[in-house]
Structure 1
Amino acid sequence: MALHESRTPIVRKVCESSDPDEHGSSLQPVQKREVVLRLEAESLENMRKRATVRVDQPKGSTFEIICDEGPYLDGDDTAPPPLAYYSASIAFCFLTQLSRYATVRKLKIRSMKLTQETRFTMEGSIIKGTLAGQGVEVVTHLDIESDEPEEAIRQMIEVGKNSCFIHQSIMNPVPSTIQAKVNGQLLS
């Protein structure tokens, strides 16, 4: 590993860009909105990758994120692997929605912690072109400290699950399109 790699931040803000008119808009009791993120990623040395992700809607900041793989995939283990970011994004999104609901409903939550196990599997052969990966299971455990009635907590969890974009993308897969260019020409 090169010395500069170990000093490169894994996550850094590249550009501050939010719209004051949109601050707090997601805390409204009723809403209809779309969230749009734009991302550019590139492979670096070994198994490191860099992504620049911008929140376009609602207008948000731009961050640069580095990932790596562990030695089992010939990586240098200098940053979390892609699946760690994926797993964390599930937890972060769910906790955001739970916190959002508690704020709007003025629930008194002393603490909210989450543990999660995310499982994947891969089978096949790279040489034969049959290698295929898939998600197996996401198991989430919540530990909530609150004097609110159990029904209020159940409702918070249900709304949190239903409004979590990532949980919903897992439970109801979204269309995915891959378009590629090789030497500037669209690969058909």
Structure 2
Amino acid sequence: MTKTDEAASPEAASSSELRTVDIVFDAQARTLGKMKSEVTITSQFSNFTVTLETDEGKLHGGDASAPMPLHYFAAGVVTCLMTQMKAFAKRLRIPVENIAMNANFHWRLEQRDRDPYVSHPVGFDIDIDVESDAPIEDIKQLVEASKKGCFAEQALALPCEIGHRLKVGDDWIEI
């Protein structure tokens, strides 16, 4: 869907009409050798494209020459929530000077012998420091609204099926 400049503006939020906007990203990734990868991500919503490299550390046999995929994951969650807080502060007319966040992302892996390991999220904690003269109840309302509007946080909180297909010859099979 093509975004118009006013689509996400505070003025557009004043209407009581329900709007639905699809936010779609496409990613094309490839290996670059050892454990290094490159991914090009295009936002259909904003027509913005970025290419990022990832690498793993010694645990996986990488060179640690680029951020690990989980670095981008953690950055995406925190900055998405922060973006929503800044945007929603305007919509809700809550004055906010600055926002700082510290987060802890904790996973655990389980492995037996040489079998591939299985990973499990243990928990994610985000500490939010808001510089504002607004009442604490307004800030709490802002955080709650931002949690609901944060695409990354909602992807973690709500079950979402991830489809996988494998290319076999000229065909794609569901796995």
Q: Do they superpose with TM above 0.5?
A: yes
Pairing of 1:10-159 with structure 2 (within 5 A): 22-27=4-9, 28-29=12-13, 31-56=19-44, 58-125=45-112, 127-128=114-115, 131-159=117-145
Structure 1's consecutive aligned runs of 4 or more residues displaced over 3 angstroms after TM superposition are: 125-129, 182-188
The verdict on how the C-alpha distance between 1:113 and 1:43 changes in structure 2, with shifts beyond 3 A counting, is same
The verdict on how the C-alpha distance between 1:75 and 1:24 changes in structure 2, with shifts beyond 3 A counting, is farther
The separation in 2 between residues aligned to 1:123 and 1:67, in whole angstroms, is 23
- List gaps (5 residues or longer) in structure 2: none
Shift of 1:32: 2.2
Q: Deviations over 1:13-54 (max 9, x none)?
A: xxxxxx6x6124222316421100011101111111100100
TM-score by length of 1: 0.81
Aligned length: 167
Shift of 1:144: 0.6
Shift of 1:166: 1.1
Percentage identity across paired residues of the two chains: 23
The verdict on how the C-alpha distance between 1:156 and 1:183 changes in structure 2, with shifts beyond 3 A counting, is same
Shift of 1:126: 7.3
